[in-house]
Structure 1
């Protein structure tokens, strides 16, 4: 498993060049159809500590440790704690402990403790882990503090497993509070939107909706974990509504039955997000028995692409990604001039 290490960009006027070169290398030279992320078949049972997917690389290139071993997300724009990454690091450390390195359970529990200590209890009974920085996701601008279905789902998944280890009921109480936002619309401070009469849970709850798929899928797995642990029919109903919305809206993310779009951004998913979409869909298909989920997971599997199909995906990704990047720069310039 990739160890957290400090991120050391170049200093001064050269720092933007360092970030730009890193993005170019990741998109061009590190474009891997076989990105290492895998399904974990042992996950899903009530007593299981396994998580549904495992990767020793995914997201780690954006994290560096603080003095206590808690990951901090560092990017060109900010340097902050990202609760989604903290929960992900905890889940991957726990999975690693179950495979070969038992010492990593302590690392996982340290991340769970951070989530427990930094949870925000709101007046409506919900428990959230808000982002503390403003965030531009395409044309959607989110002002801090803002919440995310992805964060809520990943935090629930880690805290449910921490509860299974410790038996501390406070952890499960926080998870129940975390599920409240799935019943509330974005306008009411939640993460729920309705698309053609079907529920969607938003990773980025703003307008226009970025509608990023992997965050939606992570949120559903968190609800499934909590419903399994508590046998609460209200939580199960939130999960079922989300699965119904996912099944209905899957064509929105589909590119020619061979790849996935990165939400409404107008470009194809880079391979790490696309492979993540495949394994998350496959996991949800196994949990629900919903054939459409497995059908899309199979259709999107990169191993099924021909050489021509791979060339098409790579070239169209580069075209659409850079077109989107240009639009973003023009949008930011227009906004700065208006300000």
Structure 2
């Protein structure tokens, strides 16, 4: 009989999967001692990480709506090294490109989707015109990425509410970008007006300097404003912004696109004096989504080629970006610890999966998910009766304090964060109240675990899987963590579809997306995903 405990033991004993298959967490060896250094500070980078809820927030389909189908999986390294000039003389780069299918998505499924509106009076630092700014040493400066992101979010709020005040404010962000543009090479670049030290310790960027992440997100803003308003000024702005993706890099001139080792990079931090950059992973993908928006509007073959090249890069460098059993790298040039951007990487590949239908991106997302927990997970932790030890660690994971408690019956305590500790195995809860407040306690299924559903990933495209353990139980769970089970009729070898991954009471599960048990959860160890 396959019980939940048996499934957990089976999961732990499973052989390691291929690099693009979801690896069993418990099967991974104890982490080697990585030396990632301090994680990047989101407050200092020019683009904030995606909110953690973006990983789990997936639009609901109507009851009878057919989910988008997955395509055939590509493989890392697969692609055509092409001279794009042979296809279109207006693309002045040679780079590796896999011929991904590029799909349109519904407005409620696109990148940057919001599910609830933000305050209509605005949020964050703005000037007297309501335009998003950054405050540096008491002085306000324009910030192209912030203005573009703010504009996109305001348009999402308009989509949700139809309140024209959001639309008017989005137009203000776009107009500021247009008013400050620098025309070069047929395109409009959006300059940064303040001095910047890359990651605080590397190159000094004297103004003006530029960012292809800003270009890509401004492109998304202009495209979406044109789609909403039909105003040709936004179409022209989109065309001029797209033109910056076709500008050859020249030291000392505005640039943001280049090729490194045959891979096309959309550079978040192009050096203003030399043709080199950070190869920032999240900024590269955000910029690529601007190309996707522009292709949706225009069906421009140049945008598709560049987008396919950018997605090929994102796919092919994912192992270089990865730190097994730890957070991924923020960038390739400096290898900085991604910090909370690790969750952004996970979420971005879920959306790349939706854009292309290629399961390779879903598998990369799963791989990064298995390496380090998604951030922003807090909740109530259940402690079963018995002895429990909490620990405090230094920055290198060395134990600096410990505290043992004995419980005569089960008890609860809140956790502020669920994450890992450097050079320590497993996942840890940061206990924020009670006898072990300020200590970390290791997650142990059936003994120390967070109640309910948490650390969820929502797949934009249903994924197929094969049942590998039966009888298979399917569960429902309520907000208090109470689970109810039914024994399914699935046999080993049967195919199922799933649309969500999450932990339920300390054990990883997948949610069935179709069939008689749709909406119920099954142990992740019992399903081998095939797409």
Q: When the two structures are superposed, what TM-score results if normalisation uses the length of structure 1?
A: 0.72
8 A Cα contact 1:129 1:152, kept in partner: yes
- In the aligned structure 2, how far is the partner of 1:294 from the partner of 1:179? 28
Tell me whether 1:37 sits opposite 2:54 in the alignment.
Answer: yes
- Residue 162 of structure 1, CA deviation: 0.6
Bigger radius of gyration = 2
Tell me whether 1:113 sits opposite 2:172 in the alignment.
Answer: no
Q: 1:294 to 1:126 in 2, by over 3 A?
A: same
8 A Cα contact 1:285 1:291, kept in partner: yes
Residue in structure 2 matched with residue 87 of structure 1 by the alignment:
148
Match of 1:178 among 218, 221, 241: 241
Secondary structure class of the residue paired with 1:284: helix
- In the aligned structure 2, how far is the partner of 1:167 from the partner of 1:116? 17
Residues 241-256 of structure 1: pairs in structure 2 closer than 5 A: 241-256=309-324
Residue in structure 2 matched with residue 152 of structure 1 by the alignment:
215
8 A Cα contact 1:53 1:279, kept in partner: no
8 A Cα contact 1:199 1:241, kept in partner: yes
8 A Cα contact 2:189 2:254, kept in partner: no
Q: 1:70 to 1:201 in 2, by over 3 A?
A: same
Match of 2:126 among 65, 69, 73: 65
Secondary structure class of the residue paired with 2:191: coil
Where in structure 1 do 4 or more consecutive aligned residues deviate above 6 Å?
Answer: 55-58, 306-309
Secondary structure class of the residue paired with 1:205: coil
Secondary structure class of the residue paired with 1:52: coil
Q: 1:68 to 1:81 in 2, by over 3 A?
A: same
8 A Cα contact 1:125 1:180, kept in partner: yes
Tell me whether 1:311 sits opposite 2:380 in the alignment.
Answer: no
8 A Cα contact 1:46 1:229, kept in partner: no
Tell me the alpha carbon deviations over residues 159-202 of structure 1, each in whole angstroms, 9 at most, x when there is no partner: 11110122122312221221222233433642122222111110
Residue in structure 2 matched with residue 298 of structure 1 by the alignment:
366
8 A Cα contact 1:151 1:219, kept in partner: yes
- In the aligned structure 2, how far is the partner of 1:36 from the partner of 1:135? 30
Tell me whether 1:275 sits opposite 2:343 in the alignment.
Answer: yes
Residue in structure 2 matched with residue 3 of structure 1 by the alignment:
none
8 A Cα contact 2:288 2:310, kept in partner: yes
Residue in structure 2 matched with residue 209 of structure 1 by the alignment:
277
What's the Cα RMSD here?
3.8
Secondary structure class of the residue paired with 1:69: coil
Secondary structure class of the residue paired with 1:186: coil
Secondary structure class of the residue paired with 1:259: coil
- Residue 293 of structure 1, CA deviation: 2.1
Secondary structure class of the residue paired with 1:152: helix
8 A Cα contact 1:258 1:299, kept in partner: no
- Residue 47 of structure 1, CA deviation: 7.5
Identify unmatched segments of 5+ residues in structure 1.
Answer: 1-22, 317-339
Match of 2:189 among 128, 143, 167: 128
Q: 1:98 to 1:302 in 2, by over 3 A?
A: farther
8 A Cα contact 1:150 1:215, kept in partner: yes
- In the aligned structure 2, how far is the partner of 1:233 from the partner of 1:210? 28
Please state which structure has a larger fraction of its residues in helix: 1
Tell me the alpha carbon deviations over residues 177-236 of structure 1, each in whole angstroms, 9 at most, x when there is no partner: 212222334336421222221111100012652222111111100001001101111121
Match of 1:53 among 79, 91, 112: 112
Name the stretch that deviates more: 93-102 or 192-201: 93-102
8 A Cα contact 2:219 2:238, kept in partner: yes
8 A Cα contact 2:285 2:310, kept in partner: no
Tell me the alpha carbon deviations over residues 57-76 of structure 1, each in whole angstroms, 9 at most, x when there is no partner: 99xxx941100111111245
Residue in structure 1 matched with residue 262 of structure 2 by the alignment:
197
- In the aligned structure 2, how far is the partner of 1:41 from the partner of 1:246? 22
- In the aligned structure 2, how far is the partner of 1:227 from the partner of 1:37? 23
8 A Cα contact 1:50 1:98, kept in partner: no
Tell me the alpha carbon deviations over residues 23-54 of structure 1, each in whole angstroms, 9 at most, x when there is no partner: 99x89xxxx9x834347656x74773875135
8 A Cα contact 2:52 2:343, kept in partner: yes
Q: 1:40 to 1:99 in 2, by over 3 A?
A: farther
Residue in structure 1 matched with residue 227 of structure 2 by the alignment:
164
Identify unmatched segments of 5+ residues in structure 2.
Answer: 1-39, 60-102, 378-396, 398-417, 426-531
8 A Cα contact 2:196 2:206, kept in partner: yes
- In the aligned structure 1, how far is the partner of 2:198 from the partner of 2:238? 27
Tell me the alpha carbon deviations over residues 113-166 of structure 1, each in whole angstroms, 9 at most, x when there is no partner: 2223333322x2111111112221131332221211110011010111110122
Tell me whether 1:98 sits opposite 2:167 in the alignment.
Answer: no
8 A Cα contact 2:265 2:284, kept in partner: yes
8 A Cα contact 2:154 2:166, kept in partner: yes
Q: 1:225 to 1:142 in 2, by over 3 A?
A: same
- Residue 276 of structure 1, CA deviation: 2.0
